[in-house]
Amino acid sequence: MPTTPSSQNRSESREGTKAPEPADSRDGHTPLLGRRAAKVDRLAELMGRREEGGHGAGVWRTAFDRMRRSPMAITGAVIVAVFVVVALFSPVIAPYEPVAQTWGDEVFPNRSVFVGPRAENWLGLDNLGRDQFSRMVIGARQTLLVGVVATLVGFGVGALLGGAAGAAAVLGGRWGRQVDNLVMRVIDMMLALPTLLLAVTVAALVGPSLTTVMIAVGVAQVPIFARLLRGAMLSQGSRDYVLAARALGVRKHRIALVHILPNSLGPVIVQSTLTLATAIIDAAALSYLGLGNPDPAFPEWGTMLADAQRFLSSAPQLAVYPALAIIVTALGFTLLGEAMREALDPKLRK
């Protein structure tokens, strides 16, 4: 609280200009200065207890502090951390080769003979006698890859489109508004295509593969990112500090890059976290539609789930493991994203 010290100084000086205080009987022995110091000390002591917090910490710092106390954020962060660690170190963690049909002679799907969890295969065997646990662990890596690449595609293209439209609209004058208008029409067009159908279209174009899924899911996220960043930039662009920067003669691209863009990134970063969840779910849906990676060497949760549907009534665990993995991972990213959104949104802080 910056007012306190300065105001005290002022009151000090003001009292100093007054007629000299007559040393009254009570404080007769105390020197004048000492009395005043005691007063100030006493006041500081009484007020001192409320001195924490409220200092000009950055938006992100305060948001981080708030998230550290939110059970939602902690749960999300733990899930995401576990998922990322498993995905990164999957070859080390997986006990067996994901493609090796080592126990192929123990499983007979057409006779409904499956092998559940046991000491050597923690999650049992899949329909071809492969170790389910190893496939799940290797699958985490594929899922993370799909999620991250798809999000990067969506973020990259979307931010480029949205950022260009936003910057043009804010700073480009009449010409800029035309550019903005054109870009927004394209984005509206993409928005009119339901996400999954957009992904299906892309996937049908490129043919089934992991790349297809990544691009398809990413492209479907482009309009969301673009709209979000543009909206944030437009609202930032009408702020006084932009006007001030323009009045000072700062060049336009510098205003856009140094002032507007960094202040508009909050919602986009939140959206990226949420998109990771969406991407994982959408990827699973595409795999189910037969547009995913057909290569068994790279098991992916969505493909595993799609494959396991056939045995759902006889061996539900085959579907439940990848489904749970997808749900929990998506939940982790969603919780983290929502907590971040809440922490950053001034309206929700109370």
For binding to another protein (CB under 8 A), which residues are involved?
1, 3-4, 7, 10-11, 14-15, 18-19, 21-22, 24, 26, 35, 38-39, 42-43, 46-47, 185-186, 188-189, 192-197, 200-207, 277, 281, 284-285, 288-291, 302, 305, 309, 312-313, 316, 319, 323, 326-327, 330-331, 334-335, 338, 347
Q: Which of 41, 65 has the CB closer to another protein?
A: 41
How far is Cα of residue 12 from the mean position of the Cα atoms in its chain? Answer: 51
Is the Cα torsion angle 65, 66, 68, 74 positive or negative in sign?
Answer: negative
Q: Which of 69, 185 has the CB closer to another protein?
A: 185
Give the nearest distance from C-beta 282 to another protein in angstroms: 9
Give the nearest distance from C-beta 154 to another protein in angstroms: 16
Give the nearest distance from C-beta 79 to another protein in angstroms: 11
Give the nearest distance from C-beta 262 to another protein in angstroms: 27
Q: Which of 255, 286 has the CB closer to another protein?
A: 286
Give the nearest distance from C-beta 284 to another protein in angstroms: 5
Structural contact between residues 171 and 237, judged by C-beta atoms closer than 8 angstroms: yes
Give the nearest distance from C-beta 244 to another protein in angstroms: 26
How many angstroms separate the Cα of 285 from the Cα of each of 88, 280, 281, 295?
24, 9, 6, 17
Give the nearest distance from C-beta 319 to another protein in angstroms: 7
Question: CA 139, 141, 147: angle at the middle one, nearest 5?
Answer: 100
The closest alpha carbon to 340, from 236, 269, 261, 277, belongs to 269
Q: Which of 46, 92 has the CB closer to another protein?
A: 46
CA distance 112 to 313: 10
Two structure tokens written together for 31: 């020197």
Per-position DSSP letters for 122-182, written without gaps between them:
TT-B-TTS-BHHHHHHHHHHHHHHHHHHHHHHHHHHHHHHHHHHHHHHHHSHHHHHHHHHH
Q: Which of 173, 316 has the CB closer to another protein?
A: 316
Q: Which of 233, 308 has the CB closer to another protein?
A: 308
The closest alpha carbon to 125, from 154, 151, 161, 96, belongs to 96
CA distance 289 to 302: 10
Amino acid occupying residue 2:
P
Structural contact between residues 261 and 233, judged by C-beta atoms closer than 8 angstroms: yes
Q: Which of 107, 285 has the CB closer to another protein?
A: 285
Give the nearest distance from C-beta 83 to another protein in angstroms: 13
Q: Which residues of 237-271 are buried (b: 16+ CB within 10 A; e: fewer)?
A: beeeebeebeeeeeeeeebbeebbbebbbbbbebb
Question: CA 330, 331, 337: angle at the middle one, nearest 5?
Answer: 90
Q: Which of 49, 174 has the CB closer to another protein?
A: 49
**Tokens 């917090």 map to which residue?**
53
Q: Which of 255, 308 has the CB closer to another protein?
A: 308
Give the nearest distance from C-beta 311 to another protein in angstroms: 11
